[in-house]
Amino acid sequence: MSDATPKSASSGQSSNSASHQTPYVGPTTPPAASPAQRAAGGALSSALMRCAEAQPYLSAYADGELAEPLRAVVAAHVAGCAACRAEVERSRAVDRLLASLPATAPSPEVYARVQAAVARRGLDTVVRE
């Protein structure tokens, strides 16, 4: 199993549209199959993914960020596992709540302070969009 941790759009960057999300690729293949599983047919089948293997990917799965074939393996596990399915639904509920919050923007004073800090450092200023 890879040590890579999935990055969810809801864990650091906000995105109101799935079209702005980049799929989380993570490992390019599902978790490695055991020698017995490989002998029986090769890749890890979705029915054999354990909760511990699926857990790191549930948030990214809920956000639609997993690339194939990992997405399909996690989806099959979630379809057959009530505990992981509940975790995915909790992640989606949090995403819906966050999306329902009003959009905010920093005050003009914050922009002025940032511009002043940039000027003090001698960096090029930017034009506010």
pLDDT tens, residue order, the chain (129 aa): 444 444 444 444 444 444 444 444 455 445 555 443 443 344 544 447 899 999 999 999 999 999 999 999 999 999 999 999 999 999 999 999 999 999 888 888 998 888 888 888 876 656 655
Q: Are 73 and 27 in contact (CB under 8 A)?
A: no
The phi, psi pair for 88, rounded to 5°, reads -65, -45
Q: Quick check: is 114 in a domain?
A: no
Q: Quick check: is 32 in a domain?
A: yes
| pLDDT value of residue 15 | 41
DSSP state of 66: B
Task: Tell me which residue range forms the domain holding 63.
Answer: 18-103
Number of domains in the chain: 1
Q: Quick check: is 126 in a domain?
A: no
Instruction: Indicate yes or no: pTM above 0.75.
Output: no
Q: Are 45 and 74 in contact (CB under 8 A)?
A: no
Closest CA to 22 of 56, 86, 66, 59: 66
| pLDDT value of residue 70 | 93
Neighbours of 73 (CB within 10 A): 25
